[in-house]
Structure 1
Amino acid sequence: MKTRIAGLKVAAALLALLVAMPAVAALKPGAKAPDFTAEASRAGKDFSFSLKEALKKGPVVVYFYPAAYTGGCDLEAHTFATEKAGFDAAGATIIGVSADSIERLNAFSSDPKYCAGKFPVASDPDGKVAASYGLRMAAGQAGIKDVRGVAIDHGFISRTTFVIGSDGRIVATLSSETDHLRPDQHVTRSLAIVQGLRTGKMPAAGDR
């Protein structure tokens, strides 16, 4: 219960920061997805993630989130882990991106309550990858701690998910700011989209 309350408090603080940010102009469907390589972690082990290499295997879901070990981001990671088999069946790769350090991500990626070692999360400490996708990063704020009581010493990227087709073009852009999506809805909607890419039956525009 204490962890849940802490998570809600952190989520509220992050929401206040992100709401105060200027409006963003995230890349839209049809745009070429910027290629990137970033230090990432899966199951507690760091490696170099390449979008170009991942796209050779099929579509890629790139989801940006504010910070590991915070309420909404924890729910989102847990839901991605729970639904991982569905993404695998659709031939899709999942990669989370935040400004968290690789040390924080090594813990988060292996945590059985969240990523559970099922998919990688990448570090974008300067927000350069986020910026290439048209996203801004809110500056960190003193005193904010994660659900473990550890200080969060980095900026926060607004929660936005890009579904990228194997041709390297963005198929869908999902935003918590403009589309008012819950963290778990980023997962269910992106899953429906990659399944649609697989079957040729895309979900209605209102469901993307």
Structure 2
Amino acid sequence: MSSDRLVPGDPAPAFTLTNADGDQVSLSDYAGGKVIVYFYPAAMTPGCTTQAVDFTAAVDDLDDAGLAVVGISPDQPEKLAKFKASSSVAFPLLADPEKNVVKAYRAYGTRMLYGKLIEGVIRSTFVVEVADDGTGTIDVAQYNVKATGHVAKLKRDLKI
């Protein structure tokens, strides 16, 4: 897999994944709007919980700014359902166990975990503008984001 990153102006890879409730969610569901698509390594881990809680706390401000939010991880829908319930997550969590979408967004590769290099999900956030025909364009691409403070920084970057 190429280590090339997606950049603003690139086409956003389309996806249809199963959410925590067992329903299918597609990028095209957000046609005519903007959606924050963020990738995180694993549900119910400290950093990922912090990030999900921070996005949940910001969901009204993001919604007022015309931005929906979806979180994507390699977890199974059943684990996502537990995560959503335990952390009161207020947006769709999508399961990508085959890692096809995370790889399409170039958010999978070598990363540091507790001082060791591992292969895994690279915590990444994208703002995607979705045209009326359901195709997406990358507006913002941020790789290797920190779990703590990321949502506040994203809101500043987006002037929200």
Per the normalisation by structure 1, the TM-score is 0.64
Distance 1:23 1:183 in 2: 25
Question: Which whole-Å deviations, capped at 9, do the CAs of 1:52-87 have from their partners, x for residues lacking one?
Answer: 11133x110000000011111111001001111111
Distance 1:87 1:80 in 2: 9
Shift of 1:25: 2.5
Q: Which of 1 and 2 has higher RCO (CA within 8 Å, sep 6+)?
A: 2
Q: Is the 8 A contact 1:163 1:194 kept in 2?
A: no
Q: Which residue of 2 aligns with 1:3?
A: none
C-alpha RMSD of the superposition: 2.2
Distance 2:82 2:23 in 1: 14
Distance 2:155 2:30 in 1: 17
Indicate yes or no: 2:147 matched with 1:183.
yes
Distance 2:59 2:99 in 1: 26
Work out the number of aligned pairs and report it.
148
**Radius of gyration: which is bigger?**
1
Q: Identity rate of aligned residues, in percent?
A: 31
1:121–1:38 Cα change, 3 Å: same
1:55–1:184 Cα change, 3 Å: farther
Q: Which residue of 2 aligns with 1:46?
A: 22
Q: Is the 8 A contact 1:98 1:156 kept in 2?
A: no
Indicate yes or no: 2:104 matched with 1:132.
yes
Indicate yes or no: 2:91 matched with 1:119.
yes
Q: Which residue of 2 aligns with 1:55?
A: 31
Residue identity opposite 2:140 in structure 1: A
Q: Which residue of 2 aligns with 1:91?
A: 66
Question: Which whole-Å deviations, capped at 9, do the CAs of 1:16-52 have from their partners, x for residues lacking one?
Answer: xxxxxx99322111101011100012xxx23111111
Q: Which residue of 2 aligns with 1:76?
A: 51
Query: Which sections of structure 2, spanning at least 5 residues, go unmatched?
Result: 111-118
Distance 1:159 1:40 in 2: 19
Indicate yes or no: 2:136 matched with 1:173.
no
Q: Which structure: greater strand fraction?
A: 2
Query: Which sections of structure 1, spanning at least 5 residues, go unmatched?
Result: 1-21, 139-154, 197-208
Q: Which structure: greater helix fraction?
A: 1
Among 33, 40, 54, the residue aligned to 2:12: 33
Per the normalisation by structure 2, the TM-score is 0.82
Residue identity opposite 1:69 in structure 2: M
Q: Is the 8 A contact 2:27 2:130 kept in 1?
A: no
